[in-house]
Amino acid sequence: MSAESLRLGREPQARLRPGAATTWAVLPGVWSGLRHRPDIWETWGGGRRAASLGPFRTLKLQPTLPIHSFATTHFWVVQQVNMKDQVCVSSLLCLEGRTMPKKAKPAGTGKEEGPVPGKQLKMEAAGGPSTLNFSCPRGLFESLISPIKTETFFKEFWEQKPLIIQRDDPALATYYQSLFKLSDLKSLCSRGVYYGRDINVCRCVNGKKKVLNKDGKVHFLQLRKDFDHKRATIQFHQPQRFKDELWKIQEKLECYFGSLVGSNVYMTPAGSQGLPPHYDDVEVFVLQLEGEKHWRLYHPTVPLARQYSVEAEDRIGRPTHEVMLKPGDLLYFPRGTIHQADTPPGLAHSTHVTISTYQNNSWGDFLLDTISGLVMDTAKEDMEFRAGIPRQLLLQVETAAVGTRRLSGFLRKLADRLEGTDVLLSSDMKKDFVMNRLPPYYEGDGAELSTPGGQVPRLDSVVRLQFKDHVILTVGPDQSRSDETQDKMVYVYHSLKNRRELHMMGNEETECHGLRFPLSHVDALKQIWNSSAISVKDLKLTTDEEKESLVLSLWTECLIQIFKHAELIITEFENSKK
């Protein structure tokens, strides 16, 4: 079958009919999107790796549904010619492996008109996506906020105002309910969870949070008794440590935002409220999983707040938004937004998950992180920065004018040094993020994260960075030396070996995984980072030995894929994942 005959056109059924089969090797991003639909694709052969073709899956394309019933998205598919590393790009196949949603009703948009409870900005879409799109981080976020476009979201809502998306989609509601249910608590308690660390039991009484935690290990019968008789809210901390689907969602969102993404599940009985009015220091996405929850949002007293704070109800005024969320609905609001939520009496219990991000991820944080390294680097070269401050300057009540002038001059010098530079700067924020984030989602034993695949890299190999969203490149002092003449080194940190059970728990056991190279290797590393694939012999290093040693180190950490021939350089495939 020719490449052209597989390209979707105006008459896709005539070109790829149900029952028509052919054999293909599919790149990993395509396989991850198709492997969950055995009713559509019949898989055969393959295995995790096929000779030295890399981590491809061999598929037998045998659609059992008309092709026009599929959503379209772009993936590169390569046809397997033989088992001697001869692979060629043969088609841009526009299939995602999920049925198209029913035609949506036109989205209704209301205008936000001051503190009137009934007036709210609301987007309604009947028959939204049946499941989330896990093909890439961008696709996941797009499907999470569907039908809102990402451009609209970041232009009009992100860090600015709340967004309410109410959907009439039973399939999506069923999927949301599968993320976490009240009934899951019994099995989770049997695995060993503890008050304070994993679970909080609380209730809002007279505008204050009353904590009803016991000591030690949580017992399900006691937990259910507090829920049923004391009408207490059960807060489950960081459920992605236990629930695979939340791990899958949050790992993709961490790739998308480039920031840690945490979550909490709240289960509240009818006629009860768990927390008093408060605001948070994170961007919040609320997914309603079970039952219904009544939400009230208020103007922030501290926009884009940097810390959590409880607010007295007599100080917050009337709600700017008021909504009842049902399963499948989503609510977003920026950090600093004052909010409270309750389960109305006469209804079933409510379960929702809050997915949060962008804590301490502001320009101010980035400036503090960048400026310290910049000052130290400049002080090594500029003696003026090493000169002592005036005597008794620290004893003065106010900073003297001479001190202010000198500081202003130093800041201008730092700005001049920073302007226009492309030098890699040290960043503790980068390191902290990659150390504490989730590892890549995997099924099975996750061998691809710990065992290098394919052949050992050689000078004639072509290499491509893999798990790019889980790897960072930064510089810093040589940590093996303690003297003042520490040389700068380039560090490659990754999260492939991070422990899921420690995610967002503030655990001191968190380890840093990665590699260290001389600063002379930074240009070669940038080549690997910025290329879809590159020949080892083309790396900007002095000797062939250095080139082979660099890629061997990266390969050992499972950070690169190895190919023999340049035919496998597929730039468009990498671009489609961004």
Q: What is the mean pLDDT of residues 408-412?
A: 94
Which residue's entry shows tokens 């007295």? 312
Q: What confidence score (pLDDT) does residue 62 get?
A: 36
Q: What element of type H or E holds 408?
A: helix 401-418
Contacts for 394 with CB less than 8 Å, ≥ 6 apart: none
Q: What confidence score (pLDDT) does residue 488 get?
A: 86
Contacts for 404 with CB less than 8 Å, ≥ 6 apart: none
CA atoms within 13 A on the CB side of 422: 3
CB 160 within 8 A of CB 333: no
Q: What confidence score (pLDDT) does residue 501 get?
A: 94
Whether 427 has a pLDDT exceeding 90, the answer reads no
Q: What confidence score (pLDDT) does residue 73 get?
A: 31
CB 558 within 8 A of CB 54: no
Q: What element of type H or E holds 209?
A: strand 208-211
Whether 80 has a pLDDT exceeding 90, the answer reads no
In angstroms, the CA 346 to CA 481 distance is 67
Whether 403 has a pLDDT exceeding 70, the answer reads yes
Q: What confidence score (pLDDT) does residue 66 get?
A: 32
- Closest CA relative to residue 498, chosen from 316, 332, 260: 260
Q: What element of type H or E holds 353?
A: strand 350-357
Q: What confidence score (pLDDT) does residue 395 get?
A: 87
- Closest CA relative to residue 522, chosen from 381, 427, 425, 428: 425
Q: What is the mean pLDDT of residues 125-140?
A: 73
Average pLDDT over the chain, rounded to whole?
A: 79
Share above pLDDT 70 across residues of the chain, in percent, rounded to a whole number? 74
CB 457 within 8 A of CB 555: yes
Residue bearing the bigger pLDDT, 81 or 493:
493
In angstroms, the CA 73 to CA 67 distance is 13
| pLDDT tens digit sequence for 35-74 | 333 333 333 233 322 222 333 333 333 333 332 322 333 3
Whether 16 has a pLDDT exceeding 80, the answer reads no
- Closest CA relative to residue 333, chosen from 153, 119, 111: 153
Whether 302 has a pLDDT exceeding 90, the answer reads yes
Whether 542 has a pLDDT exceeding 90, the answer reads yes
Lowest mean pLDDT across 351-360, 416-425, 556-565: 416-425
In angstroms, the CA 59 to CA 46 distance is 8
In angstroms, the CA 337 to CA 161 distance is 8
Q: What confidence score (pLDDT) does residue 482 get?
A: 61
Lowest mean pLDDT across 49-63, 209-223, 365-379, 529-543: 49-63
Whether 576 has a pLDDT exceeding 70, the answer reads no
| pLDDT tens digit sequence for 319-375 | 999 999 999 999 999 999 999 999 999 989 999 999 999 999 999 999 999 998 889
| pLDDT tens digit sequence for 86-114 | 333 333 232 333 333 333 333 333 333 34
In angstroms, the CA 43 to CA 61 distance is 8
546-572: string of b/e by CB count within 10 Å (b at 16+)? ebbebbbbbbebbbbbbbbeeebbbee
Phi, psi (deg, nearest 5) at residue 343? -95, 115
Phi, psi (deg, nearest 5) at residue 425? -100, 150
Whether 285 has a pLDDT exceeding 50, the answer reads yes
Indicate the pLDDT class of residue 182, thresholds 50, 70 and 90: very high
Structure tokens at 110: 């209301």
Whether 384 has a pLDDT exceeding 90, the answer reads yes
Q: What confidence score (pLDDT) does residue 564 get?
A: 66
Q: What confidence score (pLDDT) does residue 568 get?
A: 53
Structure tokens at 32: 């991850």
pTM: 0.76
Indicate the pLDDT class of residue 10, thresholds 50, 70 and 90: very low
Phi, psi (deg, nearest 5) at residue 420? 80, 0
Q: What is the mean pLDDT of residues 153-169?
A: 96
Q: What confidence score (pLDDT) does residue 483 get?
A: 57
- Closest CA relative to residue 264, chosen from 200, 316, 206: 200
First CA to last CA distance, the chain: 30
Lowest mean pLDDT across 69-83, 536-550, 559-573: 69-83
Whether 575 has a pLDDT exceeding 60, the answer reads no
Q: What confidence score (pLDDT) does residue 487 get?
A: 80
Neighbours of 380 (CB within 10 A): 14
- The amino acid occupying position 445 is D
Indicate the pLDDT class of residue 508, thresholds 50, 70 and 90: low
| pLDDT tens digit sequence for 66-79 | 323 223 333 333 33
In angstroms, the CA 214 to CA 223 distance is 9
Whether 500 has a pLDDT exceeding 90, the answer reads yes
Asked whether the bond before 147 is cis by omega within 30 degrees of 0, the reply is yes
Using the Cα atoms of residue 85, residue 88, residue 89 and residue 93 in order, give the sign of their dihedral.
negative
Grouping H, G, I as helix, E, B as strand and the rest as coil, residue 451 is coil
| pLDDT tens digit sequence for 436-488 | 999 999 988 888 899 998 889 999 999 999 999 999 999 988 877 665 556 88
Q: What confidence score (pLDDT) does residue 565 get?
A: 55
**CA 334 vs CA 158, 280, 297, 341, 359: distances in Å:** 7, 9, 11, 16, 11
Q: What confidence score (pLDDT) does residue 108 get?
A: 38
